[in-house]
């Protein structure tokens, strides 16, 4: 019982620390914009159903939202610490990234959606995504050193080499695609247009190229989403390669099916923001993804000599 109480207390502290990180981020943003404490006052007005077009920053609004902000984060921290302790899992950086992307973003946008869908863009998406990522990492880092100081923070990468290989493969694929479009954008005289356009379409709901703004925030936010997506694909790629070592013929078909699913995913994404893909060119998108798949396959094969040998020895599947 004493151990559980200690875990909950550390969770409360870790959640408050994550809340502080997020609050400091927006404090800096507001200060640079010459509007100190505007963000908490704005969000307090949203939840109090006040007119956000004429918000005046007052001590009461800032206090109300700060209490709500730190309270929710503290409860989330306590719940996370309790869940980790109950399952025997150790806090990791990867868990922090997942917590920030999935849990914090869902709660932020879910609460705004509950108030009214017109408030979903009350804060720039790039700041929301980045701060939640940093907040999630801050929470898990604190819980790690408070509850499991003897374990290495990145132990999951060493205990599970497939995870390490997959994340590296995903990073390689993401960099190859990013460099490919950077070259194309630069040759077209518009550097970083692709991540800005995709970020505007997927994060801000831009309906056409006229809404694209080449800003560091949009490019940075989309880059985070880009890396996260390729990390997931890379891990799936590495897991498929591991299975392929055990049964080359059967799992080769599974791997081809996996790639087909990825192609279908790109096609579906294209229908959601077809003006972006039209501006970039389908040939550029297709070739970029082909380069990504090739580079990830090269890395995984390089790290798995047994896989290369098994594929050489495996007979061609009968049709």
> Given pLDDT bands bounded at 50, 70 and 90, which one contains residue 56?
confident
Asked if the model's pLDDT at residue 268 lies above 50, the reply is: no
Last residue of one domain, picked from the residues 134, 153, 172:
153
**pLDDT at residue number 253:** 46
Position 55 scores a pLDDT of 80
- 113: tokens are 């959606």
Question: What pLDDT was estimated at residue 8?
Answer: 87
Q: What mean pLDDT is reported for the chain?
A: 78
Residues 240 and 113 in one domain: no
pLDDT for 246-262, tens place per residue? 665 555 545 654 564 45
Report pTM. Answer: 0.53
The mean pLDDT value for 55-72 works out to 90
Q: Are residues 202 and 281 in the same domain?
A: yes
More confident residue, 234 or 61: 61
The reply to whether 49 falls in a domain is: yes
Our count of domains for the chain comes to 2
Question: Residue 216, Cβ neighbours under 10 Å: how many?
Answer: 10
Kindly report, residue by residue over 106-140, the tens digit of the pLDDT. 898 888 888 875 666 788 877 888 899 999 999 99
Is residue 318 one of the residues assigned to a domain? Answer: no
As a whole-number percent, the residues of the chain with pLDDT over 70 amount to 73
122 and 210 assigned to the same domain:
no
* Domain shared by 6 and 149, yes or no: yes
Instruction: Please say which residue of 153, 169, 199 terminates a domain.
Output: 153
Tens digit of each residue's pLDDT (9 = 90 or more) over 187-214 = 888 888 888 887 777 666 666 777 777 7
- Domain containing 24 equals 2-153
């Amino acid at each position: 019982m004493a151990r559980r109480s200690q875990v909950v207390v550390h969770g409360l502290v870790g959640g408050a620390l994550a809340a502080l990180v997020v609050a400091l981020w927006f404090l800096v943003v507001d200060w640079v914009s010459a509007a100190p404490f505007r963000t908490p006052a704005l969000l307090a007005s949203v939840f109090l159903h006040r007119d956000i077009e004429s918000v005046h920053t007052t001590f009461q609004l800032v206090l109300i939202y700060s209490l709500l902000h730190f309270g929710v984060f503290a409860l989330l921290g306590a719940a996370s610490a309790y869940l980790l302790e109950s399952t025997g899992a150790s806090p990791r950086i990867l868990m922090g990234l997942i917590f920030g992307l999935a849990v914090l973003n869902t709660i932020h946008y879910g609460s705004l959606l509950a108030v009214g869908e017109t408030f979903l863009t009350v804060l720039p998406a790039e700041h929301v995504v980045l701060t939640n990522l940093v907040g999630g990492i801050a929470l898990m880092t604190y819980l790690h050193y408070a509850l499991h100081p003897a374990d290495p923070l990145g132990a999951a990468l060493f205990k599970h080499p497939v995870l390490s290989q997959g994340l590296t493969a995903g990073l390689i694929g993401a960099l190859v695609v990013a460099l490919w479009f950077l070259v194309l954008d630069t040759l077209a005289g518009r550097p970083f247009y692709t991540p800005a356009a995709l970020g505007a379409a997927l994060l801000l709901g831009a309906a056409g190229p006229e809404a694209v703004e080449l800003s560091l925030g949009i490019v940075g936010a989309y880059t985070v989403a880009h890396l996260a997506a390729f990390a997931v694909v890379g891990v799936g790629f590495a897991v498929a390669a591991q299975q392929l070592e055990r049964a080359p013929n059967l799992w080769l078909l599974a791997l081809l099916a996996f790639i087909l699913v990825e192609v279908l995913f790109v096609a579906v994404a294209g229908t959601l923001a077809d003006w972006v893909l039209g501006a970039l060119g389908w040939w550029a998108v297709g070739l970029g993804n082909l380069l990504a798949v090739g580079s990830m396959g090269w890395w995984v094969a390089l790290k798995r000599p047994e896989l290369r040998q098994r594929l050489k020895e495996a007979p061609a599947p009968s049709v």
